[in-house]
């Protein structure tokens, strides 16, 4: 999931793990209930499994958005760069916008 990749890139590997550990049993429980008609829900078979997976993913998305953008966010957006960047933008103006033939100094 995208939010998990963003958190891992920012150095936070445990939050995505905990969201996945919470999402999986929720999805399994809803899948079971919808596949076999438990808890007063209709037995809809494979469609129930698909709906359970979708509900689990929506839960993970909601938690991920809350982690990234909510109060006490784990990711500090103030340190993010604004606008597109290029690996060639730091080079001297002598290249006149052309791509250099080799990458020296790396």
User: Running along the chain, 106 residues long, what does each successive block of 10 average in pLDDT?
Assistant: 80 85 92 92 92 93 83 60 54 52 55
Confidence (pLDDT) at 2: 79
Report DSSP letters for the chain, one per residue. Answer: -HHHHHHHHTT--HHHHHHHHHHHHHHHHHHHHHHHT-TT----THHHHHHHHHHHHHHHHHHHHHHHHSTT-SS-GGGSPPS---TTTTS-GGGTTPPPSS-TT-
Q: For the whole model, what pTM was predicted?
A: 0.62
Confidence (pLDDT) at 104: 55
Confidence (pLDDT) at 34: 93
Confidence (pLDDT) at 5: 84
- Each domain of the chain, given as residue ranges in start order, spans 14-69
């Amino acid at each position: 999931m995208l939010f998990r990749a963003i958190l891992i890139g920012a150095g936070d590997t445990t939050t995505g793990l905990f969201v996945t550990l919470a999402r999986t049993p929720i999805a399994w429980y809803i899948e079971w209930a919808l596949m076999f008609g438990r808890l007063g829900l209709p037995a809809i078979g494979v469609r129930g499994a698909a709906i359970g997976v979708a509900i689990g993913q929506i839960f993970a998305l909601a938690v991920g958005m809350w982690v990234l953008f909510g109060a006490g966010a784990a990711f500090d957006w103030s340190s993010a760069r604004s606008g597109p960047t290029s690996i060639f933008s730091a080079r001297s103006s002598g290249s006149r916008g052309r791509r250099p033939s080799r990458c020296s100094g790396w």
